[in-house]
C-alpha cells in the first residue's frame, strides 16, 4: 500500500469519525482519538505523496506537531465543547457603563407566565459542557500519545550513524510528557501522559533488543524494563501521599521546561536542517 491509498483510507476514516462526532454526540473521546490519528497520518501520507518527503523528516515533523498540540489541547477542547470564558470589565472602562455580551438582554414572555430573562447558560449546561470538554481533552491526549509513541519508536533506529540523537530526543520527550501530566486535574488524563512517556521508553528498548540481538543489548533492555515498573510503583505509592513545598513544585516545573526546550532543536538536527542551512 502506497501513500495515495493511505491518504484515501485515513481521509475517509477521519471524515467518518468527524461526522459521527458531530451528529451523534456520543463516544466523544474515542471519535476524537480517531480524528487526531487519522488526520495526522493523512497529512503525513499527503506530504509523502506530493513532495516525496523522507521518513525521518515526516516523523520528526509529526513529533513537533504533537508537541505543539499538547500545549493547545486544553484551549482546543474548551472551544470544541462551546465553553465561553467569562467577561470581566477592563481598565479601559469597557463594559463598566454598558451591558456585557454575556448578560441577559432579551425578555421572553410565554402565555400566562412571568417574564424570564435569556442570559448565561444554566449550571446544568455548564456541567454538560465541562464533561464534553473533558472527553474531548482525553481523546486529544490519547491520539497524540499514540502518534508520539509511533514517531519516537520509528525514529530510534539502532542501525543509523547518529543513533544517539534520536535516543536523546526520546529521553527529553518522555521527560516532558511525564512532568506535563502533573498539570492535569483529571487522574486518567495524567495517567495517559505518564503512560505515554513510559511506553516510549519501553518501545524504544524493545526495538533495540530485537534488532541488535546481542547479549549486552538484551541485558541492558531487560534491566530497564524491570526498573521502569519498579520506579512507577514506588512513585505511585509515595507521590500522592506527600505534600511538596511551592519551591519544589516550581523546581519540577523548571525541569519540565528544560526537557521541552531541546525537543525542537534536536528534531531539526535530526532532519538535517542545520546541514542544509550550512551548505546552502
Q: Quick check: is 235 in a domain?
A: yes
Nine cell digits for residue 33? 482519538
DSSP-based three-state secondary structure for 148:
helix
What pLDDT is stored for residue 121 in this prediction? 58
Q: Quick check: is 38 in a domain?
A: yes
Q: Quick check: is 104 in a domain?
A: no
What pLDDT is stored for residue 80 in this prediction? 83
d(CA 180, CA 70) in angstroms, rounded, equals 9
pTM over 0.95: no
Q: Quick check: is 96 in a domain?
A: no
CA distances from 15 to 21, 34, 37 (A): 10, 10, 12
192 is in which domain, residue-wise?
3-84+121-278
Q: Quick check: is 77 in a domain?
A: yes
Q: Quick check: is 29 in a domain?
A: yes
Residue pair 29/136 in contact by the 8 Å Cβ criterion: yes
DSSP-based three-state secondary structure for 261:
coil
Residue pair 98/179 in contact by the 8 Å Cβ criterion: no
| Tens of pLDDT, residues 198-251 | 999 999 998 988 888 888 888 888 888 888 888 878 877 777 777 878 888 888
Q: Quick check: is 110 in a domain?
A: no
What pLDDT is stored for residue 146 in this prediction? 94
Domain count, the chain: 1
Residue pair 31/139 in contact by the 8 Å Cβ criterion: yes
Residue pair 236/178 in contact by the 8 Å Cβ criterion: no
Nearest Cα residue to 50 out of 58, 39, 61: 58
Q: Quick check: is 89 in a domain?
A: no
What pLDDT is stored for residue 114 in this prediction? 62
d(CA 142, CA 189) in angstroms, rounded, equals 8
Low-confidence ranges of the chain (pLDDT < 50): none
Residue pair 164/178 in contact by the 8 Å Cβ criterion: no
Amino acid at each position: 500500500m502506497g501513500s495515495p491509498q493511505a491518504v484515501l483510507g485515513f481521509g475517509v476514516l477521519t471524515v467518518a469519525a468527524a461526522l459521527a462526532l458531530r451528529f451523534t454526540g456520543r463516544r466523544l473521546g474515542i471519535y476524537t482519538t480517531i480524528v487526531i490519528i487519522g488526520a495526522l497520518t493523512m497529512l503525513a501520507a499527503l506530504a509523502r505523496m506530493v513532495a516525496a518527503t523522507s521518513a525521518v523528516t515526516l516523523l520528526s515533523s509529526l513529533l513537533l506537531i504533537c508537541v505543539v498540540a499538547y500545549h493547545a489541547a486544553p484551549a482546543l477542547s474548551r472551544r470544541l465543547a462551546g465553553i465561553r470564558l467569562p467577561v470581566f470589565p477592563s481598565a479601559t472602562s469597557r463594559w463598566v457603563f454598558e451591558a456585557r455580551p454575556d448578560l441577559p438582554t432579551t425578555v421572553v414572555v410565554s402565555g400566562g407566565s412571568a417574564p424570564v430573562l435569556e442570559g448565561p447558560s444554566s449550571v446544568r449546561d455548564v456541567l454538560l459542557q465541562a464533561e464534553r470538554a473533558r472527553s474531548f481533552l482525553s481523546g486529544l491526549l490519547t491520539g497524540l500519545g499514540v502518534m508520539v509513541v509511533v514517531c519516537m519508536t520509528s525514529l530510534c533506529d539502532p542501525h543509523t550513524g547518529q543513533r544517539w540523537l534520536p535516543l536523546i530526543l526520546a529521553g527529553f520527550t518522555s521527560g516532558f510528557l511525564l512532568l506535563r501530566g502533573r498539570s492535569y486535574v483529571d487522574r486518567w488524563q495524567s495517567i495517559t501522559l505518564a503512560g505515554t512517556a513510559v511506553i516510549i521508553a519501553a518501545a524504544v528498548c524493545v526495538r533495540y533488543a530485537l534488532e541488535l540481538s546481542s547479549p549486552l543489548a538484551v541485558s541492558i533492555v531487560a534491566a530497564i524494563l524491570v526498573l521502569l515498573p519498579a520506579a512507577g510503583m514506588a512513585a505511585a505509592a509515595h507521590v500522592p501521599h506527600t505534600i511538596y513545598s511551592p519551591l519544589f513544585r516550581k523546581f519540577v516545573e523548571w525541569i519540565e521546561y528544560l526537557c521541552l526546550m531541546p525537543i525542537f532543536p534536536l528534531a531539526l538536527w535530526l532532519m538535517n536542517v542545520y546541514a542544509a542551512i550550512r551548505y546552502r
